[in-house]
Structure 1
Amino acid sequence: MTFNSMQKNGLLLAAFAVVATALVIGVQILTEDEIAKQQQQQVLRTLNQLIPPTMHDNDLYQSCRLLKDPALGSSKAQPLYRAWVNDKPTALAAEIIAPDGYSGAIRLLLAIKPEGELLGVRTLRHQETPGLGDKIEVEKSNWIKSFAGKRIRGQDDTRWAVQRDGGMFDQFTGATITPRAVVSAVKRATLKLQQQADVLFNADLPQCREGQQ
């Protein structure tokens, strides 16, 4: 009798687990498109913050191409956006990844002028510690704005580090790993875009597909 009762309870628990899993999967499928749409809108808003309308007369989002290069922080191709005014190149923007954040990968968007000056950097997604590492968000701190107007003199430019490492960027109290990861990723990607700007503006790169932007 006891065995039969345990068996029934086990079957009920298994059934509940199956139903719960199905519900989770169903919700994920139903919300996938909406999440992708929200992420797309976030990127578009951020692009227009870094590259204002006066700096482009083309559709930035439709200009999206895929660039595969380790300097962008991933083995996968990342979105690259190209801006023109009257067919003259004015800015490059790229989504990049800082793979070594305190709580995992940090996705960033940066934009530069063709000659290499940074227009700015913004954080798109991260999982850093609230109250510490989340100061990379422009809504939480002005720290991320400190990249605007800066240039990189080369791979050996020691200024591109947090102050604790002898560089020019502030670190966060109790959270040095996060800004260190962001500075390193921005330096690496900016140097690549700076060196290859002429090529990238004219390169025949693959178009971004929906969901890759």
Structure 2
Amino acid sequence: MQLLTSLSRSSFALTLFAIVTAAVIAVTQVGTAERIDKNEREQQARALYEIIPKDQVSNDLLESGFEFVSYELTGSALPATGYRAMQGDQVTAVILPVVAPDGYNGRINLIVGIYADGRVAGVRVLGHQETPGLGDKIELKKSNWILSFDGTSKAENPNSWAVKKDGGRFDQFTGATITPRAVVKAVGLVQDYFAFNRAKLLQLAETKTPNNDGQESH
């Protein structure tokens, strides 16, 4: 009987310990997940407002997300999230994600802001694995190279939308041409996508044209 009682007590203690441990882990995971989510949102908001400053918008960029699908931009058939910048009820710019799959060490994740007139509002790098001291100069904290896109438009001179080594307007890095070439190409793809989908992205009303009997058609 003493042995059974001892075993019963030990089993109860182990069960209680397991329950308490599981509860502590669960609470820790929830708290950690909340902190990670908060940090990610703050980082995301910071990147968005670096492209479109707060004094240029009347809406909360982080709350203005919309889903779209573009395998060409993201390399995925799954929905991605873009953002609209507003002034009153008018969309003045959109910020779209794009993946440059052909970086020196793999994928380069970017966001690109495009004004309503098609000019580039700004570009920021969200993630990459490029070589430190060479390809990582695409980061704003490492160099100002990424700012060379500000205010530019591929449509104005498509042939110049390349690095200088390829006859274009953008500088390449000493000893590293592949990385900037991949970023320039990706930013160009975003402009092409915007030009083709401009009305939808800017939420413009469909143009109405009169038909032969004087009635409007869509």
TM-score (norm: length of structure 2) = 0.74
Residue in structure 2 matched with residue 151 of structure 1 by the alignment: 153
Structure number with the bigger relative contact order (C-alpha 8 A, sep ≥ 6) is: 1
Q: Deviations over 1:60-106 (max 9, x none)?
A: 11111121113313213221000111101111001211111111111
Residue in structure 2 matched with residue 8 of structure 1 by the alignment: none
5+ long unaligned stretches in structure 2: 1-27, 205-218
Give, in whole Å, the separation in 1 of the partners of 2:187 and 2:31: 35
Q: Which stretch of structure 1 is more off in the superposition, 70-79 or 95-104?
A: 70-79
Q: What is the CA-CA distance between 1:52 and the residue it aligns to?
A: 1.2
Give, in whole Å, the separation in 2 of the partners of 1:102 and 1:33: 34
Give, in whole Å, the separation in 1 of the partners of 2:30 and 2:194: 36
Give, in whole Å, the separation in 2 of the partners of 1:190 and 1:41: 27
Tell me the matched-pair count.
176
Residue in structure 2 matched with residue 180 of structure 1 by the alignment: 181
Q: Is the 8 A contact 2:162 2:185 kept in 1?
A: yes
Residue in structure 2 matched with residue 111 of structure 1 by the alignment: 113
Residue in structure 1 matched with residue 84 of structure 2 by the alignment: 82
Give, in whole Å, the separation in 1 of the partners of 2:32 and 2:167: 45
Give, in whole Å, the separation in 2 of the partners of 1:58 and 1:87: 10
Give the greater-gyration-radius structure (CA). Answer: 2
- The runs of at least 4 aligned residues of structure 1 exceeding 3 Å deviation read 27-37
Give, in whole Å, the separation in 1 of the partners of 2:115 and 2:48: 13
Q: Is the 8 A contact 1:71 1:189 kept in 2?
A: no
Q: Is the 8 A contact 1:115 1:194 kept in 2?
A: no
Give, in whole Å, the separation in 2 of the partners of 1:28 and 1:183: 40
Q: What is the CA-CA distance between 1:55 and the residue it aligns to?
A: 2.0
User: Amino acid of the residue matched to residue 47 of structure 2?
Assistant: T
Give, in whole Å, the separation in 2 of the partners of 1:149 and 1:46: 17
Q: Is the 8 A contact 2:125 2:139 kept in 1?
A: yes
Residue in structure 2 matched with residue 125 of structure 1 by the alignment: 127
SS of aligned partner of 2:48: helix
User: Amino acid of the residue matched to residue 43 of structure 1?
Assistant: Q
Residue in structure 2 matched with residue 139 of structure 1 by the alignment: 141
* Percent of paired sites with the same residue: 45
Give, in whole Å, the separation in 2 of the partners of 1:166 and 1:28: 52
RMSD over aligned CA atoms reads 2.2
SS of aligned partner of 2:39: helix
Give, in whole Å, the separation in 1 of the partners of 2:133 and 2:30: 32
5+ long unaligned stretches in structure 1: 1-26, 204-213
2:167 is the alignment partner of 1:166: yes
Give, in whole Å, the separation in 2 of the partners of 1:95 and 1:86: 24
Q: Which stretch of structure 1 is more off in the superposition, 85-94 or 129-138?
A: 85-94
SS of aligned partner of 2:152: coil
